[in-house]
Structure 1
Amino acid sequence: MWEIVAIRYGQATLPRSVLFHHYGAYDEPDAPQDMAYYVYVLRSDERTLLVDTGFRPETVARRPGRSGIVELPDALARLGIDARSIDEIIVTHFHWDHTGNLHRFPGAGLVVPEAEAAFWSTPVARHAPFWSHVESDDVELLLSAQREGRARTTGADETVAPGIRAITVGGHSPGQQVLVVDTARGPVVLTSDAVHLYEELELGRPFGIVVDLREMYAAYELVRGLEADGALVVPGHDPEVTRRFPSVGGDAGSFAFRIA
């Protein structure tokens, strides 16, 4: 069984017309939409893992409308976690806001989706509609780690650690994956960017950054099926998560929330 803590390390306010794919099709006025950025800590009796590593301050400074709340090393320290105790990091996909602090954990093993690593190593990935969503240094670190044997890749659907299942769904990114984590409250689905906001899932509204629209809709159906089977679904960027789940309190109470 795993405990899950969500660290809200960043925030953004962006137009809905930017965030949702073909927003004009809904015949609704544009409006600002708040977003949250999360990293997850998974803890069992034996291990502490990270799911993604957030963005770097120098990276987010180049992207209007977004800002940091807490830097990851400081967040971990305020949670009483020694960064050196993290032996593995699960990377859900290669976008800039999920890979920015990997260099801070040189001793940790990496788990990456095979389809994601394969795509970002191809020439077509260098085209701006794709490459603008990643940081070159982070991609090179991930691909180098794979070549050196520090990173292991996951297939379509497999167990990456006891009680943690990784499912590759694509859609938002070529190898986007979701995690199903066994906890004391039952299975929890960390959707990462397969579902950014509760609204996406509830209304079937695809996000604006999409590689394959059909795969994105299929991911929604998969997540809905997991929810129907009793899993708790946690979207990857919804500020509502901080209202639906309790703060951990203490020195980390303003940014860390207990999912399970």
Structure 2
Amino acid sequence: MAAAPETYRVFAIKYAHHERRSGVNFIGGDSHDVPMPMDFFVWAVVGESRSFVVDTGFDQAMAARRGRSIIRPIEEGLRAVGIDTSTVEDVILTHMHYDHAGNRDLFPRARYHLQDREMAYCTGRCMCHSPIARHFEADDVAGMVHRVFEGRVQFHDGDSQIAPGLSVHRVGGHTEGMQVVRVHTQQGWLVLASDASHFYANMEQRRPFPAVHNVGDMLEAYTRLYSLADAPHLVIPGHDPDVLRRFAAPSREHEGWIARLDASAR
């Protein structure tokens, strides 16, 4: 008999910010052309018996190269929710873009969970095309290759349960191996969409984000996200500052940079 799902606490941790306008956040632009900034998050999934980090962000050097602003290093945010990066045993990478797969040395003990197709994608012929490759960092990809040879990567092919109450699901679209994370919480099944939908508006209005491998798959992914969650508000986009307004901080000192996603929405 299958084990009963564990119930997890889930935190969105903002580590960086980028000012931009709405026109660059939708294929075809946006007629309103209003400010629509992007926040950068990692996520912590905290259980009684086991915890997981979802994505690993980037560091100050990469922020300077890419014109982004670090708000707080991710190790500070993880420490605030009780996670020591030196002891983390499982990291789930939704995909291998620079803002989700950096900080290569922060998790020395971790096993990394990645889709087969994502590894093939970021080491294959698509990286010969600069409009695609520019979203990746060669050092991050090479670091993952080294982990493969060290026995520290667990590959997944499509949908896969990692632990009772936690699973990954390949949806594609943004990248070939884009995966989302489904988590059992006290509010029901929650989905960390990551870049399957950068903003609420992308999935709610069916207006895809311009950084895309396959537009059709991205549109289909929006439907899949909602089917995996128990309620629409439990689908969490990857870069929307509104996440920090829709969900409360765990305490007053965390206001504006950490949200508890498994608690009731505001």
Question: TM over 0.5: same fold?
Answer: yes
Q: Is the 8 A contact 2:22 2:36 kept in 1?
A: yes
Match among 21, 24, 37 for residue 27 of structure 2: 21
Relative to structure 1, the CA distance from residue 30 to residue 152 in structure 2 (aligned partners, 3 Å threshold; closer, same or farther) is: same
- Structure 2 matches for 1:1-260, cutoff 5 A? 1-23=7-29, 28-64=31-67, 66-227=68-229, 229-230=230-231, 232-249=234-251, 251-260=253-262
Q: 2:208, 2:81 → 1: CA distance?
A: 34
Shift of 1:187: 0.4
SS across alignment from 1:4: strand
- List 4+ stretches of structure 1 deviating above 6 A: none
Shift of 1:204: 0.6
Q: Is the 8 A contact 1:121 1:143 kept in 2?
A: no
Q: CA RMSD in A?
A: 1.6
Q: Is the 8 A contact 2:94 2:194 kept in 1?
A: yes
Which structure has more helix as a fraction of its residues? 1
Structure 2: gaps of 5 or more residues? 1-6
Q: 1:20, 1:63 → 2: CA distance?
A: 20
Q: Which amino acid aligns with 1:131?
A: A
Deviation by residue 1:116-156 (Cα, 9 ceiling, x = unmatched): 01111113313211111011111111122123321011111
Q: Is the 8 A contact 1:79 1:252 kept in 2?
A: no
Deviation by residue 1:144-170 (Cα, 9 ceiling, x = unmatched): 212332101111111122211111111
Using the size of structure 2 for normalisation, the TM-score is 0.91
| Number of residue pairs the alignment of both structures matches | 255
